[in-house]
Amino acid sequence: MRMLKRPGFIASIVLILIYLVIGIAGQEGHLLSIIGNAMDTMMYIGWALALAVIMSYAGYVSFGHAVFVGIGAWMTAVTIESIMPSHPFTISMFIVALLLGAGVAALVAYAVGWVVLRLRGAYFAIATIGLDYVVLYLAIYTLSRAGISPPLLFRNLSLTVQSFYWMHFTVFVITLLVVYYIKASRFGFGLAAIREDEEAAEVMGVDTFKYKLMAFTLSALIAGMWGVPLAFRHAKFDPQDVFSLLNSVIMIVENTVGGLGTFLGPIVGAYIYYGLYWSLLTKIAQASFVVLGPLIVIIIALVPEGLVGWLREKFPRLRKALE
């Protein structure tokens, strides 16, 4: 299995070990602030890799991908409020939410993808924005029917920061391994062929429609999982927040800044995005997005192929290492 000796896999293992150490060391009270940053970065990497499967590998930009994170958060609320109400928190609650969130997100993506993946390019992107708004208002409507005006707060959970951390970590490990496998397998080859030239891919034997549908479904499944630790951490389901178009844009920015078509690109992009966001937030607070927006435009204008893509082009010898 040469797959396990390749840079992308090694990078995944290194990342997993680093976050494992942070999690264990973070039991100490004075490291709590790092724990917060670590959870944020895991989540942003997770979002980036989720979208990467359809956007960066298959070349189809999903502009409303936050819809699947939102579905994951919604299903967490359903788990806590309907399936396991007045339960104290147990691991099984997290697992049920994870299965439900990932499963429903994947089902929705499969059904929608079956229709819209017959459209090429921009139509697909627009269709996913539409989907995001449909599900957002469906969630608000469902809550109001139950007599709740959003956000829905989870009142009876008393969880420690450490438990949020391990939730993030669990989803993080699954994401890295699944996405790396997708990228390095025959499936990944097929997706790359579709991204580069869909007609040629089909003529060469790639079942393009099935592959696109599988990629979109898996991409949604991973995004759906990420809604679960998010909802637990904030102890609420706030539709306007989780379905926000801004979240979709963040995922796209991470992929673009990092570099399309590589495994490491979205990860690097997530760190760049979060680094900028965090340093601006701590300095100029509310104004941060005013500066962040133009900064991202400048970065993309300077290195349109993304940082990892630029390095691969500039230093051909690094191509293999920067897979």
Residues that bind other proteins (CB under 8 A): 2-3, 184-186, 189-190, 192-193, 195-197, 199-208, 261, 316, 319
Beta bridge partners, 153, equal 236
Beta bridge partners, 237, equal 152
Closest approach, Cβ 205 to other proteins, in A, equals 3
Are 228 and 39 a contacting pair, CB within 8 Å?
A: no
Taking the CB of residue 141, how many other CB atoms lie within 10 A of it? 11
Query: Given the complex with other proteins, which of 254 and 323 has the nearer CB atom?
Result: 323
DSSP 253-296: HHHHHH-TT-SHHHHHHHHHHHHHHHHHHHHHGGGHHHHHHHHH
Are 267 and 254 a contacting pair, CB within 8 Å?
A: no
Distance CA 156, CA 229 (A): 16
Query: Given the complex with other proteins, which of 213 and 295 has the nearer CB atom?
Result: 213
DSSP reduced 3-state for 236: strand
CB-based contacts of 115: which residues, under 8 Å, 6+ apart?
Answer: none
Distance CA 220, CA 233 (A): 21
Taking the CB of residue 27, how many other CB atoms lie within 10 A of it? 13
**Sign of the dihedral defined by the CA atoms of residues 311, 312, 318, 322, in that order:** positive
Are 300 and 284 a contacting pair, CB within 8 Å?
A: no
Query: Given the complex with other proteins, which of 211 and 232 has the nearer CB atom?
Result: 211
Host H or E run for residue 237:
strand 236-237
Closest approach, Cβ 261 to other proteins, in A, equals 6
Query: Given the complex with other proteins, which of 166 and 209 has the nearer CB atom?
Result: 209
Distance CA 27, CA 63 (A): 38
Closest approach, Cβ 3 to other proteins, in A, equals 7
Query: Given the complex with other proteins, which of 28 and 196 has the nearer CB atom?
Result: 196
Query: Given the complex with other proteins, which of 283 and 319 has the nearer CB atom?
Result: 319
Closest approach, Cβ 50 to other proteins, in A, equals 22
Query: Given the complex with other proteins, which of 72 and 261 has the nearer CB atom?
Result: 261
Closest approach, Cβ 124 to other proteins, in A, equals 20
Closest approach, Cβ 211 to other proteins, in A, equals 9
Closest approach, Cβ 313 to other proteins, in A, equals 9
Per DSSP bridges, beta strands 152-153 and 236-237 are antiparallel
Closest approach, Cβ 193 to other proteins, in A, equals 5
Which amino acid is located at 306 in the chain? Answer: G
Query: Given the complex with other proteins, which of 80 and 117 has the nearer CB atom?
Result: 117
